[in-house]
Each structure stands twice: as structure tokens, then as C-alpha cells.
Amino acid sequence: MKLTAEQIQENWDELMEYIEKYISEPRKEKLLEFYEQYSERLMLMPASHKKEYYNAFPGGYVEHVLRVIRCSLKQYDLWASEGMDDSTFNIEELVFSALNHDLGKMGNEEEESYIPQTDQWRKDKLGEDYMFNEKVPFSSVPDRALYLLQSHGIFYTFNEMLAIQTHDGLYDEGNKKYLVSFIPGQKPRTSLPYILHQADLMASRIEFEREWLPKLKGDKKSLESGKENFTLGTKPNTSKKLSTKTKALSSFKSDGLKNMLDNL
Ligand SMILES: [Fe+2]
């Protein structure tokens, strides 16, 4: 899977539209400032560093987040239609949580989490275009997301904190304290964490299927391309790359990102 520079720009614009439409002041302004400040990084980030996971290609992060927002809104309708108590949280909390659930993947203020792979063997043989940046101290993705938001003065509600913190559901053992309890008073008071988890699960599963099912069907050509470093190593048609619409993409300061863009 690879996105053109135009698709990356369109996805970014769509993400900003969700903030404009669903997030209220005063935090809307702060959120837009934050996203603008880190737009270079966020726009081109992959959603993971390995193809075995999902959306490990330039622009994959935003593409994933958009799908999680869309799935969250659809899941909300489904849950509401089946009788969920929709007075326990609001749509802004739903969109804010989906928008920022994986924000911790961007790294810290100074360093990106995922940087271009420097080991040529791993690129060629394993198709790994990215690797973890060891300069970034370890933190779970939800913890870093919440840290980044609070350190930029973007407040979040208790419901949003819980949803972002537990968005991996029981795939993260640490979430058991919130999600595994037989005492009614200790269960989450809203369905928001479950909706976000289902939306994230749905999005990442679909992204996995898109990347891997054609290869797993045994088509030799697909298997070959699975090992190929096709997300960063090949050059699709870039004739539209520097159109006025992609102005933001052409003004990157980061050398790493420029290299990635050159390879798009
Ligand atoms: Fe996610």
C-alpha cells in the first residue's frame, strides 16, 4: 500500500476538518496549533514500523486515524440503536478520543518514534522501511498521547482519558484494571472505551487484510511484493506532487521526511 503525495495532503485536510467540525473552543484552537506545529511529522508518519502490523507506509498514521474516527461514529450509531445510554458521553469526546488515540506514536517533542530503516538487509529481506528511534525514551502509546496533550495545554475529559488509555482493550494487560471487573461500581461508566476499542480493532484489521490477504492467498507475485521495500523504495507517478494543493508537503524542514517524500 502506498499513498500519493496528493492523497496524503487530502487526508491531512480531512483530519483538520474533523477538528474544525467536532472540537469546541477553547481547546479547538490549541489542538489546531498543536497539529500545525507537528504537521510535517504527523502527515507522513506510518501507523507502525513493520508491515506485519498495519499501515507501515508514509501517511499511514493519518489514514488509520481517519478510519478510526469514521468507524467510531458508525459504531456509536450501532450502539445507540441497540440501547446504549448515550447521555454518558458526547460526540466531541468520541471524536477527540479517536483523533488522539495513537498520538503517542509520534514520539516526543524533539524526536520521531519511527525513523527510516538504516539496516539495508532488513529493508531488502524483511521489507522493513522503518525502525524505532532509540533516542525516544520508552512510554506506552496512550501514556505518551496524554502527556503530549497536557504538555501543550490541551485539556481532556475523564471519559477521553479513559478511552485513550484503554483503546487497545484487553490486548494490553494493563487495561485489565479498567475492563475486567465483576463489581458494577468499578466498570467504566460510559461505553466510550468499548466503542473506541472496537473502532480501532476494526480499522487495524481491515488495514491488515488490505496489506496481507492478497499475499497470503499464495499468489507468487503478491508474495514477492510482500518482501519488496515498496512503500519507500519505488517511485510512483509524482507529476502532481508539487501542485499548489501540496504546498504543505513541499515545505518540510526535516531531512528524514524530505528523503521519504523524495521516495514517494
Ligand atoms: Fe489505532
Q: State the chain's mean pLDDT as an integer.
A: 86
In the reported structure, the alpha carbon of residue 101 is separated from the centroid of ligand 1 by a whole-number distance in angstroms of 6
The span from the CA of 54 to the CA of 203, in Å, is 9
Given a contact cutoff of 8 angstroms between Cβ atoms, the answer to whether 127 and 233 are in contact is no
Ligand 1 (ion): residues with CB under 5 Å are 102, 200
Q: How far is the CA of 199 from the centre of ligand 1 (A)?
A: 9
Provide the pLDDT for residue 127: 76
Q: How many residues does the chain have?
A: 264
pLDDT in tens, 33-49: 999 999 999 999 988 87
DSSP state of 25: T
CA of 158 to the centre of ligand 1 (A): 20
- Give me the pLDDT at residue 200, please: 97
pLDDT at 125: 81
Q: What is the mean pLDDT of residues 199-216?
A: 93
Q: Quick check: bond before 26 cis, omega within 30?
A: yes
**Amino acid identity at 81:** S
> In whole angstroms, what is the distance from residue 46 CA to residue 51 CA?
10
Q: Quote the ligand 1 centre to 40 CA distance (angstroms).
A: 20
What lies within 8 Å, CB to CB, of 206 at 6+ separation is: 67
* Cα gap 165→160, rounded to integer Å: 8
Q: What tens digit of pLDDT does each residue of 146-160 get?
A: 999 999 999 999 999
Distance 88 CA to ligand 1 centre (A): 23
* 105 CA from centroid of ligand 1 (Å): 9
Rounded (5°) CA angle 102-15-255: 70
Q: Report residue 186's pLDDT band, with 50, 70 and 90 as the boundaries.
A: very high
C-alpha of residue 68 to centroid of ligand 1, in Å: 7
CA of 179 to the centre of ligand 1 (A): 18
Cell output for 53: 502490523
- Model pLDDT, residue 235: 36
Mean predicted confidence (pLDDT) in 97-125: 92
Q: How far apart are the CA of 167 and the centre of ligand 1, in A? A: 8
pTM confidence score: 0.84
Q: What pLDDT was estimated at residue 252?
A: 58
Please compute Rg for the chain using Cα positions. Answer: 19
Q: How much is the pLDDT for 242?
A: 36
Distance CA 257, CA 254 (A): 5
Query: What cell does 186 get?
Result: 468499578
Of residues 246 and 199, more confidence is placed in: 199
pLDDT digits (tens, 9 = 90+) for 25-81: 999 999 999 999 999 999 999 888 777 677 888 999 999 999 999 999 999 999 999
Helix and strand counts by DSSP (H, E) for the chain: 13, 2
